[in-house]
Structure 1
Amino acid sequence: MTPNSLFYLLIAIIVIVFLIDSLLDILNARHYSDNIPNELLDVYPKDEYEKSIAYKKANYKFKMVSSSISLCIMLLFFFLDGFAFIDNIARSFSDNTIVVGLVFFGIIMIGSDILSIPSSYYRTFVIEEKFGFNKTTIKTFFIDRIKSIIMMIIVGGGLLALIIWFYTITGKNFWIYAWVLISIFTMAMNMFYAKLIVPIFNKQTPLEPGELRDTIEAYSKKVGFQLKDIFVIDGSKRSTKANAYFSGFGTEKRITLYDTLVKDLSKEEIVAVLAHEVGHYKKKHVIINLLLSVLLTGVTLWFLSLFIANPLLSEALKVEVPSFHIGLVAFGILYSPISEVTGLIMNVVSRAFEYQADDYAKNTYNSEALINSLKKLSKNNLSNLTPHPAMVFIHYSHPTLLQRIKNLRE
């Protein structure tokens, strides 16, 4: 294969992935106004359902426009030899391989983040504001962006520097050391995410003593779930949307409730949601997902080791000096079709896990309380009740509301 043919293969992959995603969005949009199944008739009052359709259409139109603009910018960057331009800038700072790689990706990541600000701003302060979801102030919006960039520089830059260093001293065997590094990092994040990362953006407070906490603790004791911490997070600082999640494992496991969830759901409904989260832990979904993630990371890095040293990757992007960072960019695009397939498989596994967690909540607590909570959350989030089956199969990590209700009532 010549550098020129590889260049157009990269372009073809980018365009094909975009077209497939756009086709799915179009198919999904045609189902927005479908008749609501009988099991879901009580989710929305008529005016709220019309509002949910308008919300979905607004997001659909916005995504089509923003993704098309992003595609055009990316293609221009390719055809105008943008990677070669940035590589030359990075090499003007230093001859050190690690420094060059960090500067190269730093320019791309920060530049990409800056370019995404208008679309993020529009989504937050126009669409989410219009439909009553937004609680983010302009100050919080920009502080969040700055914090994210700083974290990306410190954490992402540190990991990248170590991986490039592994490559410089071990060659193609770097993937083994990189795999160990990323695996340790992934496990650490699973263990300590709530303690280390969440406080940077949100305030977490222990759930106050009272009837809700007593009920949660009584349920936990009943099912043999040793619960160390129950926290409430100030999700209302940014949005009215509600959520709850389980994080960590072993002695570091904790359950976190959004304050909007505590406000919107009854005591029984909140405990039902927590029973679902406990189900994930009891069924060892957290560990299985972690192991699958580590395994996929190893496979990806191994594939990367087979291609990274090939100068054809750099030549295809019009970069004169072959390097790890340029090879990583080209490989990332070449590997994207495979990552789409693995992502689909992970979604299939995830949906199976959601059914199992629902079954656990049904068997240990109350199926109707969970159904009511799911309906309320769908209503409050203006969720899509009639998604296209193809969209569900490819992109949904959770079953649809209808599928979950049918399973819970079996």
Structure 2
Amino acid sequence: MDAITIKYLIIGILIFDFLVERILDYLNIKNLSAALPSNVADVYDTAEYNRSQEYQKEKEKAEQFQSYFQFALYILLLTQGYLGGLYDYIQASVLQSSLSTYSFYASNLLFFGVLFIASDLISTPFSIYNTFVIEEKYGFNKSTVKLFIMDKIKGYLLAIILGGVIIALLLFLIQTLDTSFWWIFWLIISVLIVTLNMFYTSLLLPLFNKLTPLGDGELKTAIQAYCVKENFPVDNIYIMDGSKRSNKANAFFSGFGKKKKIVLFDTLVDQHSIPELIAILAHEAGHFKKKHIIQMMVLSVFQMGVYLFLLSLLIKNENVSVALGSTGNSIALNLIGFGLLFSPVSSITGILVNVLSRKNEYEADAFAASTSSAADLGIALKNLSKKNLSNLTPHPAYVFLHYSHPPVTQRLDAMGIK
């Protein structure tokens, strides 16, 4: 395809995706008017249900404004060729500087750096409004301005170090191996995915949150008793200070084998009884017992391989760079162009992954119900939903396309909880 065709194909994909998302949002918000589902009526009253609906509507209104703004910005950048113009300007500046010897790396890395900073500056006001207005209004926000800024700084440093190294490595492989780069980079990224999963709670999480070993007491005794009963050895049980940012609760496992860790948000421990916490733990254990964690990781690695192979077909296509407004070939612009052109493919694979993920959630619920208590898990899910002001009546089309977890009412139905 020539550059003009590619340009209008990208714009067409963006418009189609934007329209589909707006229709889904409309259906989802319209569905909020549904009556309170009967299987959660025992923990909700009318006022609480109305409050959860208002919360969802306010979040959706803010997200809609952001999506319209970003869509308009993307269309402007593409139709006016500003992305290519920015790259050409950076490249020309680099060639006239002391970095000219390393112009290939410097131009591409600086371009991504400028885009990252610009993107973050644009999204930050929306993030501030969501955190300090909406989340604050509904009693979720516990973050401070200082903590918000510190998180931003840490995020920047992490992106520069980790993201910069990954992009530099990709550029080196493309420069060295041409279009054969993809399988070497795939192997490296696969190792990185596995490593980060194993050591996430040891390496990255402590940068943002404090993990404290769970002290002796009734909860620890109950957890250890469950783990022994189910032959699920876990010695590392931690409480995470999630309350420093939000009142919302969660729990997760991290790692494999002896590196396995249970992490409970302090908000979860504060808001749920011990039987409920054991049921939540049993659900997470179900993911390990059913090999869901490995399954999803293998799928993620496979997806990455497919995407990288497809990328290798376009990475040296000058027409993609010209379509984005450049006067020549650019690896950075071709990476962006690939992401835009193949977004329908990633959307389809995302849907398939979500279907599998929802199936896994049902299986983990069934495991928890059989090894712990369906009633306790049901109470925990209801209370989590209530505390987090979750959407109890999402539209089926929205669930199909976007939800990685089934709606709580469907999970309760699957466990026979009426």
What TM-score do the two structures reach when normalised by structure 2?
0.96
Q: Which moved more, 1:9-18 or 1:83-92?
A: 83-92
1:31 corresponds to: 31
2:297 corresponds to: 290
Quick one: distance in 1 between partners of 2:393 and 2:199?
A: 37
Q: Is the 8 A contact 1:133 1:239 kept in 2?
A: yes
Quick one: distance in 1 between partners of 2:81 and 2:149?
A: 31
1:5-404 correspondence runs (5 A):
5-91=5-91, 92-93=93-94, 94-95=99-100, 96-404=103-411
**TM-fit CA distance, 1:30:** 0.4
**TM-fit CA distance, 1:171:** 0.6
Residue type at the aligned position of 2:238: F
Q: Is the 8 A contact 2:84 2:322 kept in 1?
A: no
Quick one: distance in 2 between partners of 1:255 and 1:25?
A: 35
Residue type at the aligned position of 2:372: Y
How high is the sequence identity, in percent, across the aligned residues? 44
Q: Which moved more, 1:3-12 or 1:235-244?
A: 3-12
CA deviation vs aligned residue, 1:7-64 (integer Å, no higher than 9, x gap): 1111111121111111111100001120122112123121111111110110111111
Residue type at the aligned position of 1:332: G
CA deviation vs aligned residue, 1:148-194 (integer Å, no higher than 9, x gap): 11111100110010011001010110001110111011011110111
**TM-fit CA distance, 1:321:** 2.2
Q: Which moved more, 1:345-354 or 1:141-150?
A: 141-150
Residue type at the aligned position of 1:32: L
Q: Is the 8 A contact 2:211 2:241 kept in 1?
A: yes
Quick one: distance in 2 between partners of 1:300 and 1:206?
A: 40
Q: Is the 8 A contact 1:43 1:378 kept in 2?
A: no
**TM-fit CA distance, 1:90:** 2.7
CA deviation vs aligned residue, 1:105-128 (integer Å, no higher than 9, x gap): 110011100111100000001100
**What is the count of residue pairs matched by the alignment?**
410
Quick one: distance in 1 between partners of 2:330 and 2:6?
A: 17
Residue type at the aligned position of 2:19: L
Q: Is the 8 A contact 2:287 2:293 kept in 1?
A: yes
Quick one: distance in 2 between partners of 1:161 and 1:181?
A: 13
**TM-fit CA distance, 1:317:** 1.2
Quick one: distance in 1 between partners of 2:154 and 2:350?
A: 28
Q: Is the 8 A contact 1:66 1:119 kept in 2?
A: yes
Q: Is the 8 A contact 2:31 2:393 kept in 1?
A: yes
Quick one: distance in 2 between partners of 1:36 and 1:3?
A: 52
Quick one: distance in 2 between partners of 1:321 and 1:143?
A: 39
Q: Is the 8 A contact 2:88 2:327 kept in 1?
A: no
Quick one: distance in 2 between partners of 1:22 and 1:178?
A: 36
Cα 1:43–1:25 change in 2 (3 A) is farther
Q: Which moved more, 1:68-77 or 1:256-265?
A: 68-77
Quick one: distance in 2 between partners of 1:64 and 1:42?
A: 33
Return 5+ residue gaps in structure 1 as ranges: none
CA deviation vs aligned residue, 1:254-287 (integer Å, no higher than 9, x gap): 1100000000000000010000000000111111
**TM-fit CA distance, 1:400:** 1.0
Quick one: distance in 1 between partners of 2:17 and 2:316?
A: 26
**TM-fit CA distance, 1:100:** 1.5
Quick one: distance in 2 between partners of 1:90 and 1:200?
A: 33
Quick one: distance in 1 between partners of 2:317 and 2:78?
A: 19
Q: Is the 8 A contact 1:86 1:107 kept in 2?
A: no
Quick one: distance in 1 between partners of 2:19 and 2:366?
A: 37
RMSD: 1.0
Quick one: distance in 2 between partners of 1:150 and 1:346?
A: 31
CA deviation vs aligned residue, 1:172-228 (integer Å, no higher than 9, x gap): 100011101110110111101111111001111011110000000000000000102
SS at match of 2:252: strand
